[in-house]
């Protein structure tokens, strides 16, 4: 009777509206009644429409309420807030409302860096110093549907010369930054940079297994913190009626809410306050498959420190209409301003509607004046905590229903609210210091997102963003870094022109998995060999040259190259204490890239997905043990 009156508070005729619920009242406890009240109040009676009589499927009904309880607990403001937000956003979507109504776009201010110049080196040094006050957050909850790789994306090798997977590369980079940061400040105390991974039900267990089976890639297990995002309820119509799983009438259909969840999760986990109390100042967010990212991190963190940015978005030069968002300042007629990412398909109409007749067009530099957002963010911890305390971690959301027809009354399939990590600045006050750091694409951005078939269809000149292009980008970046060294030496040591610098052969052009790519010499190094340009400068001296066939692996902090001529494969592993000086000529059959068909099921997927396999014909291996000397 008590339960009956509880539900009657919501609506008098609830029993006829939700007879399935009425006949099961006897098995519900008070918490479940509370949840049922919420659902009825939000017009979700249909969820109980096909419930069996009490005594049948009772366990499943319990599971239903357990799921409702999770969905309610995981959303800021609970399920009611979710449904109400959805109704507003669905109404806006149906009305075709322009989210930028009243806003005038302009180019925000930020820092444009030139790799290798004095400014860049200065920012890198500032960034390394500050790294001991940073926490790193990897968002890795995505399904990776576009890549179609069977395992989690962070387990994929970033390149196959060493076979280092993305997660290993990220962890090793953080460990090296941690050590370099303390060393630079000549501080003897030991700092452990927190390393957070946001997972989801799709990625949590495999991520944990990958870490455990590899001893956390050298990081202390308690330095790695996994936080799991939950999915959100799917919606069947514009009234935000929650969708049931087509295969189970006692289960709500759910889908991912997007990487924006990372903010509410960090807020509710209590980690942010803990970090602030421990003296940390920065939180760096980044994504699962960008093998170049850590080449850009030290300098961009240096920009955050030097410029005092509350929000610093990493960006690359963007061609007009290129399919990446543009970082844009928006100023409203009512005085509001914000600096945010505007998706490429929204930028052109926004510009045209606000007096820019050419829309999204290139400027004098040949690039769009709006830098291309690569979704790596550096936030200053203090202002970040202030903002999340105000918003309770909620982040601006959007909905993207696929309508059946122009009446926009029904959907082709259920939809849900989504949110993006980069939309965090949307709610910031106009006093917030929001900037960006632009670096060359070759240095900073080569994500692995697309499967071979889709990548092969990418129009010529646009990036493939495949496993093939991601790997080639790493070799190219390393070669261009070494070439930069060559240019500097050439300029500064003009009298020693013939001896100076590093000569890198030009790349060959090859087609793998239907994608035309440049193969540069396969020069790779572990983060402990070099994380910054200054590290490379210290370790590579004059007179080195690499043929296009060259493959080199540098694994050890004290390996020095001088007068090395490589035409083949050279692998150097040296323990931390070993100093290895390498010079002279190395020539052997080397390692050759042989085409492999992605449809060939006999190949491991991480190989077929990139369309080539490295055939290891011959190599010179040097093992640097303690007190080992030079190798000629
Ligand atoms: P992507 O845009 O690459 O999406 O995510 P995705 O879900 O991984 O891949 P597709 O679209 O299904 O092919 C960018 C980053 O955000 C993370 C991903 O793991 C990736 O690092 N992400 C995405 C989350 O952490 N959670 C999400 O709900 C979505």
Percent with pLDDT over 90 in the chain = 85
| Predicted pLDDT at 17 | 79
Note if the pTM is more than 0.75.
Answer: yes
| Average pLDDT, integer, range 217-232 | 97
Evaluate if residue 437 carries a pLDDT over 60: yes
Tens digits of residue pLDDT in 97-148:
988 999 999 999 999 999 999 999 999 999 999 999 999 999 999 988 899 8
Burial class, 505, CB count within 10 angstroms (exposed 0-12 / middle 13-18 / buried 19+): middle
Ligand 1, residues at Cβ distance < 6 Å: 139-147, 198, 200, 229, 256-259, 287-288, 449
| Predicted pLDDT at 497 | 42
Distance 174 CA to ligand 1 centre (A): 22
Least confident range from 44-58, 464-478, 484-498: namely: 484-498
Distance 557 CA to ligand 1 centre (A): 34
Ligand 1: which of 154, 254, 259, 377 to mutate, most ligand atoms within 8 Å of CB?
A: 259
Mean pLDDT for the chain overall: 93
Distance 293 CA to ligand 1 centre (A): 16
Tens digits of residue pLDDT in 139-157:
999 988 899 899 999 999 9
| Predicted pLDDT at 243 | 98
Q: Which atom of ligand 1 is nearest to the CA of 138?
A: 21
Tens digits of residue pLDDT in 543-554:
899 999 999 999
Q: What is the 3-state secondary structure (H, E, C) of 32-43?
A: HHHHHHHHHHCC
| 316 closest CA partner among 115, 166, 169, 474 | 115
Work out the pLDDT band at 13, boundaries 50, 70, 90: confident
Can you name the residues that pair with 509 across neighbouring β-strands?
A: 518
The answer to whether 36 and 20 have CB atoms below 8 angstroms apart is no
Conformational region of residue 335, where left means phi above 0, alpha means psi within -120 to 50, and beta covers everything else: left
| Predicted pLDDT at 621 | 97
Beta pairing, strands 254-255 & 235-237? unpaired
**DSSP H helix total and E strand total for the chain:** 19, 32
| Predicted pLDDT at 578 | 94
| Predicted pLDDT at 312 | 98
| Average pLDDT, integer, range 74-98 | 94
Sign of CA dihedral 350, 354, 360, 366: negative
Work out the pLDDT band at 416, boundaries 50, 70, 90: very high
| Predicted pLDDT at 185 | 77
Alpha carbons 330 and 396: distance in angstroms, whole number: 16
From atom 7 of ligand 1, which residue's Cα is the shortest distance away? 142
Most confident of 339-348, 353-362, 500-509, 612-621: 612-621
Cβ atoms within 10 Å, residue 426: 15
Q: Which atom of ligand 1 is nearest to the CA of 140?
A: 19
Q: Which atom of ligand 1 is nearest to the CA of 421?
A: 16
């Amino acid at each position: 009777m008590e339960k009956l009156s509880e539900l009657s508070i919501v609506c008098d005729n609830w029993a006829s509206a939700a007879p399935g619920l009425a006949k099961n009242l006897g098995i519900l406890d008070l918490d479940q009644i509370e949840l049922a009240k919420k659902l009825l109040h939000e017009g979700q009676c249909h969820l109980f429409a096909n419930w069996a009589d009490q005594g049948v499927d009772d366990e499943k009904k319990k599971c239903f309420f357990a799921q409702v309880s999770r969905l309610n607990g995981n959303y800021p403001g609970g399920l009611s807030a979710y449904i109400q937000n959805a109704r507003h956003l669905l109404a806006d979507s149906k009305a075709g409302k322009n989210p930028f109504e009243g806003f005038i776009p302009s180019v925000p201010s930020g820092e444009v860096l030139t790799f290798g110049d004095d400014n860049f080196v200065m920012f890198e040094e500032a960034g390394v110093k500050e790294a001991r006050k940073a926490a790193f957050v990897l968002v890795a909850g995505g399904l990776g549907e576009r890549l179609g790789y069977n395992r989690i994306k962070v387990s994929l090798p970033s390149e196959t010369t060493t076979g280092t997977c993305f997660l290993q590369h990220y962890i090793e980079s953080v460990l090296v930054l941690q050590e370099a940061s303390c060393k630079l400040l000549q501080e003897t105390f030991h700092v452990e940079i927190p390393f957070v991974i946001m997972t989801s039900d799709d990625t949590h267990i495999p991520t944990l297994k990958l870490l455990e089976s590899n001893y956390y890639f050298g990081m202390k297990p308690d330095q790695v913190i996994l936080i799991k995002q939950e999915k959100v309820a799917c919606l069947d119509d514009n009234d935000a009626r929650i969708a049931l799983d087509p295969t189970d009438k006692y289960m709500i259909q759910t889908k991912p809410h997007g990487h924006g969840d990372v903010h509410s999760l960090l807020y509710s986990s209590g980690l942010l306050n803990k970090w602030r109390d421990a003296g940390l100042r920065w939180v760096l967010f980044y994504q699962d498959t960008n093998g170049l990212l850590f080449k850009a991190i030290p300098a961009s963190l240096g920009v955050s420190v030097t410029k005092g940015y509350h929000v610093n978005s990493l960006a690359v030069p963007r061609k007009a209409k290129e399919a990446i968002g543009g970082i844009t300042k928006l100023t409203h007629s009512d005085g509001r301003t914000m600096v945010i990412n505007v998706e490429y398909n929204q930028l052109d109409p926004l510009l045209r509607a606000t007096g820019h007749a050419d829309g999204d067009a290139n400027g004098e530099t040949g690039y769009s004046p709006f830098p291309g957002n690569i979704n790596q963010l550096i936030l200053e911890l203090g202002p970040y905590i202030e903002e999340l305390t105000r918003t309770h971690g909620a982040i601006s959301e959007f909905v993207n229903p696929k309508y059946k027809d122009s009446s926009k009354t029904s959907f082709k399939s259920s939809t849900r609210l989504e949110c993006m990590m980069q939309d965090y600045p949307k709610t910031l006050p106009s006093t917030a210091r929001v900037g960006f750091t632009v670096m060359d694409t070759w240095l900073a951005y080569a994500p692995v997102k697309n499967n071979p078939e889709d990548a092969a269809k990418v129009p010529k000149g646009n990036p493939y963003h495949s496993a093939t292009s991601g790997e080639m980008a790493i070799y190219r970046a390393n070669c261009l870094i070494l070439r930069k060294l060559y240019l500097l030496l050439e300029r500064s040591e003009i009298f020693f022109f013939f001896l100076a610098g590093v000569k890198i052969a030009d790349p060959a052009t090859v087609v793998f998995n239907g994608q035309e790519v440049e193969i540069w010499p396969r020069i790779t190094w572990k983060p402990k060999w070099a994380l910054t340009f200054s590290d490379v400068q210290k370790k590579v001296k004059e007179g080195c040259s690499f043929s296009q066939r060259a493959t080199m692996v540098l694994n050890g902090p004290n390996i020095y190259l001088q007068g090395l001529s490589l035409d083949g494969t050279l692998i150097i592993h040296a323990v931390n204490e070993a100093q290895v000086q390498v010079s002279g000529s190395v020539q052997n059959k080397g390692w050759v890239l042989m085409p492999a068909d992605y449809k060939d099921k006999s190949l491991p997927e991480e190989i077929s997905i990139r369309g080539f396999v490295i055939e290891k014909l011959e190599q010179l291996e040097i093992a640097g043990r303690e007190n080992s000397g030079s190798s000629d």
